[in-house]
Chain A
Amino acid sequence: MSKMKGKNKDIALRAINLTKIYDLDGIKIKAIDGITFSIPKNKVTAITGPSGSGKSTLLHLMGCLDRPTSGKIYIGNTDTSKLDDKELAKIRNKKIGFVFQFFNLHPLLTALENIELPLAISDVDEKERRERALSLLRLVGLEKRAFHFPNQLSGGERQRVAIARAMVNSPEIILADEPTGNLDTRTGHEIIKLLFSLKNKTTIVIVTHELEIAKHADHIIRLKDGKIEYFDGFKKHAL
């Protein structure tokens, strides 16, 4: 038991026998098919696989944006399958940071306000919000763009704002869904560098179909038809 505890200390997220079945007009589609894995803390884990392999579905399940049909997900020691909608919202707010392919910034808020948003949701007072958001804007090198709206920023800048927003609540894990998918190669490279640099602060999971990104990750989960094809030590084979 104590051995387990010791092991869990280094684990940010565990999925046990995870299954997700979609019902499309009576046709059942198994997007995730009974997979079990762990995401180690303060490492970069890449989830790869061909289109339709279940990468995004898995990320949504890990991020508590969707509920599994069966199986369990532990974030730290919390069994998320037992939580109601309100508790799941709290987990998303406090323990998880999201970075999306299409940035998903709030169009009516400035860069600074976008970063403050998770703090506003959790009722952090305005002064503290501003301080934390500004320090993250500095971290991602956008302090001069604080009062620009998303449509006034380039793709790379928007993704930096999204990364800062994902970091603002000091989450236990950052889930990035194709974070370079909408960026040119050079900008994509910078974003990946930025994400990788955060691993000493938090755990990073990147869903990507780009082998170049996966190659630099500490761990790899390769999916095919909702099942894990390769995991971790088989990195070279996975690529």
Chain B
Amino acid sequence: MKFKDLLRFGLHNLATRGLRSWLTIIGVVIGVATIVAIVSIGQGMQQVIANELGALGDDQVYVVHGVGKVGSGGIIGGLGAKKPGKLTDKDLKIIESVEGVIAAAPDIIGMETVNFMKDSNTLIIWGTNEKWIKVREKMVSMEVGRFLEKDDRGVAVLGNDAAKKAFSKEVTLGSIIRIGNESYRVIGIMESIGGLGGAQEDRAVFLSLKDAEKYSMFGKDSYYAIEVKVERERVEEIAEKIKEKLMNARHVTEDNIDFFVSTPEKIMSVASNILSTINLFLYGIAAISLIVGGIGIANTMFTSVLERTRQIGILKALGSTNKDIMKLFLVESALIGLAGGILGIFFGFLISGIIGQITSMFLKTTRIETSMVYISPELIIFSLLFSVAIGIVSGISPALKAAKLEPVDALRYE
């Protein structure tokens, strides 16, 4: 029998069993949609992270102090250091002395109630020096005014949200904001950063180190981190040198290291590892639902063989070979797989698109041009082939049963 005729027969038979065919197809759709959604979100997330890190700077090294408790210092500090430690001016000077370092800016981080006119809001207080804008040049630019300069005191630079959204009235250049009893004149407002890494900066009030130290969450005598801009071609090498010099100066080894040196590559690999673990777990769930879908196909096909035993008898009486009958049933189960695959891909992308949209809104990704969802042709092709394969594999046993029927027995079947 020609393939075209087999296809026509298969479609005919599936259409005849309408509801049952659809229910079987839905079983496959759930499995394929889950896989497609997971993979496309996973791939999209990886791209977003890569872009974010690229935007942060592929020439940046972060030195983060060891924190007392995991959590207060974030993932990077918590994962990297073996014991608590402080970062001071001495460490900043050591870092600046490393060959290949272009600029280094320390960070002091705090959270305080900031008053503007009669309004108040809790904002991030971010103390740093004039070099910060150079270290972050790829990510940060000024909307109006200027960034902090050396020896600035009593002045503040505001993140875009801090200036425009934090208070009922917009903070403008020259406005006075108050933190506790201190007043600060606003000398600059930054462009909105947005994105995964930008939300904090947008909601921050930048002060000089001297002004900010009284608000530090990690004590007056310690920086939270030191951000370092290095020569792009040698990021990893320079990061290693910084680590080595700091370890020597602080008399620590790998076993009792009290700080952590992070590079974009390291952050990427940590993020990828976390994503991979989550993905692996979700793949497991998807695989189970696909197996259930496959069992559904086999069940439908077995029922179909029983129902159509007489038809099989007719076909055999008219000269169909065992192979013809086998092919007929395999084409049908493959069609179920294919239909499940096509719909699964559609719904998978729809689900991932919705999740992507929600996540984007949540993260305020004004700067992220990459979609959170990545639709790769390979994923489409793989999903289609995979679902057809599931259909065929599930159909083999029922098809064999149909093919092996003796024509005379099949014709007698009531």
What residues make up the interface of A, taking CB atoms closer than 8 Å to B? 60, 63, 65-66, 85-86, 89-90, 92-94, 98, 100, 104-109, 117-118, 120-123, 165, 169
Contact = CB atoms under 8 A, between A and B. Distances in A.
B323 to A, nearest CB: 8
Interface string B1-32: 11001000000110010000000000000000
A118 B28 CA distance: 34
B79 interface: no
Contact of B1 (A90, A104, A108, A120): A120
Interface of B: 1-2, 5, 12-13, 16, 310-311, 313-324, 406-408, 411
Contacts of A109: 12
Chain B interface secondary structure, helix, strand, loop or mixed?
helix
B2 A89 contact: no
A104 B412 CA distance: 11
A206 B248 CA distance: 106
Contacts of A98: 317-318
Contacts of B313: 104
Q: Which of B2, B313, B318, B324 has the largest number of chain A CB atoms within 10 A?
A: B318
Contact of A108 (B16, B310, B318): B16
Nearest to A107: B311
B316 to A, nearest CB: 7
Contact of B408 (A60, A85, A105, A122): A60
A65 B408 contact: yes
B322 A104 contact: no
Given A104-B310, A121-B315, A66 B408 contact: yes
A165 B1 CA distance: 17
Contacts of B316: 65, 89, 92
Given A66-B407, A120-B1, A120-B5, A93 B318 contact: yes
Contact of A122 (B13, B310, B315, B319): B319
B314 A104 contact: yes
Given A85-B322, A120-B5, A121-B324, A66 B406 contact: yes
A60 B320 CA distance: 16
Contacts of A105: 314
B324 A106 contact: no
A154 B295 CA distance: 40
Contact of A92 (B13, B311, B317): B317
